[in-house]
A and B are shown apart, each in its own frame.
Chain A
Amino acid sequence: MASNSAVELAPPAAPAAISVWDRVADRASQGDYRPSLRQDLTWARMKTRHGQPNIMLADRPRKYLRLSSRDDQIAQLMDGSRRVSDLVVEYFRRFGSFGFRQVTDLVTLLRQAGFLTDPPRDIYKELGERLNPSPPVRERRWVEGSGLRMKFPVRGIDGLVTRYHDAVGRFVYTPVFLWSGALVASFGLLTFVRLLILGRDPFAPIAGSGLLAIVVLVIAYYFVIFVHESAHALTCKHYGRMVPKGGFMLYYLMPAFYVDVTDAWLEPWRHRIMIFWAGPFSGFILAGASALGASAFGTGLIGTVLFKLAVAAYLMNLLNMMPLLLWDGYWILEQWLEIPDLRQKALAFIKGPLWSRLWSRKRLTGRETFFAVFGLLSGGYSFGSIFLAYLYWRHRLGPIVSPLWLTPGLLGKVIAVGLVGAIGVPLGIRYGRRLWGYRTAVRNAPAAARKALFTIRMSDRLRLLEGLAFLKSLPQKSLERLAGSAKVREIPAGATVVRQGERGDEFFILAAGQAAVLVRDQSEDRIVGEMTVGDFFGERALLKSGVREGTVKAQTPLRLLVFQSKAFWNELVGPVAWESRVRGALEERERLRALPMFADTGSRQLDLLAVKLQVQNFAAGDVIVKQGDPGDAFYIVREGSLEVLVRKERSRRRVRTLKTGDFFGEIALLMDVPRIATVQGLDEGSVWRLERQDFRDLLGRYLDLEGQIAGVAASRLPHGHSMGGTN
């Protein structure tokens, strides 16, 4: 916005005497908070496969955040010298729009994540805890998770992995080794298939013992997992990243190993894929080498053992490459396609939107078709895997439990019941709960639907309506009529409420839940904002049969207050022209929305801003600001044109003309500086005026330095466990 900067280049005036109460207001104002980013954080500025910026900020190995390139620029300014209000003005200067929400969300996120030098503190919460202490939670450092995904971490293994990498890395990560490995894997696979065709039995006894054969197969299986996880860890280390912990885990009560390679988020996408691929690749090399060895040693002891190792390695790594469960194959696919939460999105699509699209015979886009196919396959495979798990456990436990049960005496039966119970009870609880949930939901559906019609009490409806600044002038009775005319609609998580480009005549207020706003950008839906309780959308439909400017998708189950455009205006008809007042307020918002500087401003923020902006009319020759006067407000040209005049010695020179959408005086939002030019009307028109105090009040409403991270940060936190490399 260099075009306007000429108006503001005066040196700051000597500070006027500030009262104690002004100082107290400054200290208590959230907008005057000066964020200071910690210096020990790690930045990684990368590109995605499609050339988009991919910026990560990390407090290794504790927390990783994904930032946009705008966030990146603003975060770098957080050195403790700038207030949040300075950052908003800087955002405006750099990007040409008022990023209230963007800046305040970023500050909130960084503070809650502990990335600022002053960690969040809540003395009232601490006081509440002291007055009413909650029962002590037993800290279990030796176990993480519970139930069917229980990990026993070994922390501080990074040094060990580094030494391991230093010892073998120089051989393993050479082109010769990698190509040789690929050849061994390929020839080994052919040999393995040949051995199977020739009738080699994977379950053949060893030294005449079937039990020994099973024991060898189990040992081989764990050896394969160990090699697999080592490969993930070594490759992560090869790219210079940390492997802070790893260990043993019980996944559905099956013993396994895992390593934590979350630090790989700081690597480019190619390296991330390589880290995921390293596990299966090492497995295929091991399997290939074992198959070649089994072929060379024949059916003797060594040959049989090697063949079992090959069987275990192929089985485990082929399963691992299956992209339908959250294993390596899935993460590779997700990284390649660059669709975060691919599985969740695909499953959400097949749960609801797919059927409504099919029902209305709408053509699916390419992406929707992919989601449909992937979601159906994933869902089917997940259910299938439960059945396979049942068969697996029956196969494993059957030979052990049956003889025990048939053994005379009570002890055998008790052991058999204990064995089945140890595995069956947790599984039963997990799936039983899920089934019970489905049953309850189906049974309660009609009652829930009936209840939903009346669940939003009149007082809550009124409170929601009172939160809308464009209805501020309405008397209580009109608000009550409006509140009564609204319908309640329940939307399941993942469903689309309105779709970009479609016409609509409904206006919505969010009464419960959380939704995402998506805008189509080069055939990709990009999340541009999130909405929570009290936010609203579709207000353009009140003015005309509005085309939806974005898609709104339910992130959690939503409860919406829905207003039909016609019914809405009917309730405002009366002796007083409330309708025209509300219509005027809405039209004012539409004018503001059309300005590029408010492109990043959400509906609710725009609503609040519209109330704070005062309209100041002018005629030709009227002076809006005068050179030398102290500045305390920012102006946007609403309509008409103005001229900027600079007086130098005795002459007065016009330096430029301002038209609708131009602005001047943004520095006055931050500090007292004398105006260095006079701005006066060239013809009849009006300007919007935003005063400094109103600007600070607006910031205070958005900044939530002590609030919870959840809503704000959801879209910025990379799914850490996804890089866990667990099996």
Chain B
Amino acid sequence: MQCWICASPANGTCRFCGRAVCREDAKTHPFVLEVYPSDGNLYGLAVEDALHCGVCKPRPEPVLMDFLAAPKAPKPRKSDK
């Protein structure tokens, strides 16, 4: 695989988008591996310097994904009982 930026042999792939990059063009970026609730708080396992291609732009804010919510199931009618 070749580097997305300079077309030389790539050394790794971006943790965020999958582009391949060589050592010279690689950047780092914090990355959240896992988040879990505990004691009423959210805790996470994180990497400080995950591989980043520098081309893609991880959105720095949470994105509302309300459209992924499961549609509400219709209430059973009395006659169905």
Contacts and interface: CB of A to CB of B under 8 A. Distances in A.
Interface of A: 20, 23-24, 27-28, 120-125, 127-128, 130-132, 459, 463, 476, 706
Contacts, number: 39
B43 to A, nearest CB: 11
B60 A121 contact: yes
Nearest to B64: A27
B29 interface: yes
A27 B61 CA distance: 11
B55 to A, nearest CB: 12
A65 to B, nearest CB: 22
Contacts of A131: 30, 46, 48
Contacts of B67: 20, 23
A214 B48 CA distance: 63
Given A124-B29, A127-B30, A27 B63 contact: yes
A35 to B, nearest CB: 14
B73 interface: no
B70 to A, nearest CB: 12
A69 B45 CA distance: 49
B65 A27 contact: yes
Q: Which of B5, B46, B61 has the most CB of A within 10 A?
A: B61
A23 to B, nearest CB: 5
A394 B11 CA distance: 66
Given A28-B59, A131-B46, A459-B6, A124 B64 contact: no
B37 interface: no
A130 B41 CA distance: 15
A5 B39 CA distance: 59
Given A23-B67, A128-B30, A123 B46 contact: no
Most buried by A among B6, B32, B60, B67: B60
A124 B60 contact: yes
B33 to A, nearest CB: 11
B60 A706 contact: yes
A interface, by DSSP: helix, strand, loop or mixed?
helix
Contact of A127 (B6, B46, B59, B63): B46
A120 to B, nearest CB: 8
28 contacts: A20-B67, A23-B67, A24-B65, A27-B64, A27-B65, A28-B63, A120-B61, A121-B60, A122-B60, A123-B60, A123-B62, A124-B30, A124-B60, A125-B60, A127-B30, A127-B32, A127-B44, A127-B46, A128-B30, A128-B48, A130-B46, A131-B30, A131-B46, A131-B48, A459-B6, A476-B7, A706-B60, A706-B61
A285 B58 CA distance: 63
Contacts of B6: 459
- CB-based closest 6 A-B pairs: A122-B60, A127-B30, A131-B48, A128-B30, A27-B63, A706-B60
A27 B62 CA distance: 10
Interface of B: 5-7, 24, 29-30, 32, 44, 46, 48, 58-65, 67-68
Contacts of B65: 24, 27
Contacts of B63: 27-28
A122 B48 contact: no
Given A23-B67, A27-B63, A120-B61, 14 more contacts: A27-B65, A122-B60, A123-B60, A123-B62, A124-B29, A124-B60, A127-B30, A127-B32, A127-B46, A128-B30, A459-B6, A463-B5, A706-B60, A706-B61
A465 to B, nearest CB: 13
A128 B52 CA distance: 14
A335 B7 CA distance: 55
B61 A123 contact: yes
Given A23-B67, A128-B48, A122 B61 contact: yes
Contacts of A123: 60-62
Nearest to A131: B48
Contact of A132 (B44, B48, B61, B68): B48
Nearest to B58: A124
Contacts of A120: 61
Query: By CB atoms of chain A within 10 A, which of B6, B30, B46, B58 has the most?
Result: B30
Contacts of A20: 67-68
A128 B29 CA distance: 8
Contacts of B68: 20
Residue among B24, B44, B58, B59 with the most chain A CB within 10 A? B59
Contacts of B48: 128, 131-132
A476 B5 CA distance: 13
Contacts of B59: 28
Residue among A120, A125, A127, A459 with max Cβ neighbours from chain B (10 Å): A127
Contacts of B5: 463
Nearest to A123: B60
A131 B47 CA distance: 8
Contacts of A125: 60
A706 B61 CA distance: 9
B64 to A, nearest CB: 7
Nearest to B67: A23
Nearest to B5: A463
Contacts of A127: 30, 32, 44, 46
A128 B32 CA distance: 10
Contacts of A132: 48
Nearest to A704: B57
B42 to A, nearest CB: 12
